[in-house]
Structure 1
């Protein structure tokens, strides 16, 4: 029996902290079901589906996964070539965000790294007029050159290793000293 054609248009349609949803177009010719395989580089898993989409769950936040989809013929005999796509799951939210020091011109914060993985943290702050941001790979920051007696909105977001996939942000509101 001839091997099935390759699946077409494999795309990632949704990413969460623990799942990735894949969608594809069925191949030309005959196939009975699809074999979906994924790996984080250490652990390999797979699942079979009759649909042309799947949500892979129980994934670790902030981790790069490679997904492969191939068509399989009747009786699980012949497999087509695999099409692959790689994506990071979203990092989890940082924990225990705490303001550790306040002066007239600075605010220091610390936090606990999120569950799972992340590459760095995006810290953004604004007083409603002026704003700033800084990327840090430590779990603390001292934001300086602020205005005395002003309330700042400070947001921390964990970012995955691709520099683009962001987790849910956490925000605090803090006045500088007068």
Structure 2
């Protein structure tokens, strides 16, 4: 006959990737020693403690473990009280943007955990005005319906097979590509200079700068503008030039698709 367990309220005070801290209460002052049996589907182990709190280490990330605590009363082991839980998955690795478009991005990442075949993933998408969560069963995700030229923070969490226990997130900040500029035209064409104007409709356009590429084979020049117009000087009279204007996001790197116009300068 096994005495009923004096242990109650067994719970995890902390759940990490490779360790957990268990705590419990006892209603029998005669018990001051405990045996903790723990294991997963592949192996079992045990340890003893004289406290009602124990850290169990060297566990495998993202894996389900069963923990059973037995009290030892007057030299005899009582019945056990059990708790099952998943350790946290490891953070994902090598989070990258495989593609950055005007309104969508394709993210990819890797995982090295033994249990990763059972993982799903939560992708949190954050900008100044909203937070959105998506899920994926594989180590990639296309995220649509984003705003051109806007900054987003993407965080990917690996989720264990209980669909609850999440690992620490891995983040990446990206700017979407701005939309192409609109209505590119020459407001003035002179002998050695041209005045260009254009428009933009993006929500984020207040933060844009513009790169103007000036091509006269074989030479290529680049100018920048913080407004939707530019005067381009030091051109050759009576010569054809190709002008391409690119909107540039606030990171000063992410460029939209260029809008082009061919023009001849006036003859002297």
Return the TM-score normalized by structure 1: 0.90
Asked whether the equivalents of residues 91 and 114 of structure 1 are also in contact (C-alpha less than 8 Å), the reply is no
Structure 2 unaligned spans of 5+: 179-268
Residue number among 90, 93, 101 corresponding to 2:91 in the alignment: 93
Query: How many Å apart are 1:33 and its aligned residue?
Result: 1.3
Which structure's relative contact order is higher, taking Cα pairs within 8 Å and 6+ residues apart?
Answer: 1
In structure 1, the partner of 2:12 is: 12
Residue matched to 1:67: 67
Aligned to 2:146: 146
Moved more, 165-174 or 115-124: 115-124
Contact 2:32 2:51 in 1 (8 A): no
In structure 1, the residue matched to 2:49 is 49
How many pairs align? 176
Q: CA deviation at 1:3?
A: 4.1
Name the residue aligned to 1:160.
160
C-alpha change, 1:131 and 1:5, in structure 2 (3 Å) is closer
* Contact 2:2–2:77, Cα closer than 8 Å, also in 1: no
Structure 1 equivalent of residue 174 of structure 2: 174
CA RMSD of aligned residues (A): 1.9
**Structure 2 contact 18–87 (Cα < 8 Å) conserved:** yes
Larger deviation, residues 87-96 vs 77-86:
77-86
Query: In 2, Cα distance between the equivalents of 1:14 and 1:4?
Result: 27
The residue number in structure 1 matching 2:106 is 108
> Take 1:66 and 1:4, find their aligned partners in 2: how far apart are those partners?
20
Task: Write 1 or 2 for the structure with the bigger share of strand.
Answer: 2
Q: Hey, what does 1:79 align to over in structure 2?
A: 77
TM-score with structure 2 setting the length: 0.61
Q: Secondary structure at the residue paired with 2:76?
A: coil
Equivalent residue, structure 2, for 1:132: 132
- In the TM superposition, residue 126 of structure 1 has moved relative to its aligned partner by 2.3
